[in-house]
Amino acid sequence: MVKIGIVGATGYTGVELLRLLALHDECELLTITSRAEAGRPVADLFPNLRGHIDLCFENPETAVLTDCDLVFFATPNGIAMQQAPELLDADVRVVDLAADFRIRDRSVWEHWYGMQHASPDLLQRAVYGLPEINRAAVREARLLANPGCYPTAVTLGFLPLVEQGLIELEHLVADTKSGVSGAGRKASVATLMGEAGESFKAYAIPGHRHQPEIRQTLSLAAGSDVGLTFVPHLVPMIRGIEATLYARLKRTDVDLQGLFEARYRDEAFVDVMPLGSHPETRSVRGINSCRIAVHRPLDGDVVVISSVIDNLVKGAAGQAVQNMNLMLGLPECTGLEQVALSP
């Protein structure tokens, strides 16, 4: 059994990580930390874990994280970059579910996240944990940056076209929608039911911090810079992301359906839907899958991709477990073969 620690498991991503690891056959949860909830049984805060996790939250100052084989950081941005070096020096693998190590360029990171990076020397060492493009590197990773939720849905949607050089890269468009859990488990007027219910709005149109992450990944895949218009929306649901992606084809004599099916044929967690499909967020609720459909409206030169994920699973905790499995030499699908919830 591999020994696992979790730092900061009191948010939506943290409890989702606990839900998945509680039934993971190869994992032993050694310590779960929270400064605010130290001493409180985990199942008191999250009753859905009653009978599955009998640990109490520990103060991060006294928790012995160096006894773990791997530690997850389910913390706000800015925490992992301060604590990861000590764990790496102790030969503990680290998976950061926040954004501390996702962007390689320090100045870009500091611009978008509004703070000075505490461990800039680790930015080039961290592996970006999208297994569908970095599986070999993930297996060898000591420090892993788990991708953001929007970047996962958008990147997987555009990737086959970018890799094959089939679209004009200057004007990619990502029109994305997320449930309110993407904003985190904190008191916020904007995500109150009375504010978000029966409403639909765009936000962060001038610029969103996930945009440079998406551009970085797609630019590496393309071998050149990409231009991206990225507009996120808040929709009145709890879980889920739908990304409607637009690009202009360089040529129209390509079997797009065949291209996507071939690219993801061996990917357990990417499901290319039949021709003419329209994926729904409810079809991935609670599971580590990205469902994709590709269209060419009116047989024109614009390609439209619809990509759906559960933002808390494939967009966060599930992908982190997928990466953990690879890093620790476990079968990639271990603990991640649930059936989606319906209704």
State phi, psi for 246 to the nearest 5 degrees. Answer: -125, 140
Compute CA distances 80 → 12, 64, 149, 174, whole Å: 17, 16, 18, 29
Evaluate whether 95 touches 154 at the Cβ level (below 8 Å): no
Instruction: For 133-146, give one letter per residue: b (16+ CB within 10 A) or e.
Output: bbeeebbebbbbbb
Give which of 92, 53, 91, 94 is closest to 72, Cα–Cα: 94
Q: Does residue 149 have an active-site annotation?
A: yes
C-alpha dist (Å) from residue 182 to 11, 177, 178, 235, 249: 11, 10, 7, 11, 32
Q: Say how far apart CA 272 and CA 240 lie, in whole Å.
A: 17
Catalytic residue among 27, 149, 290, 333: 149
Which positions are catalytic?
149
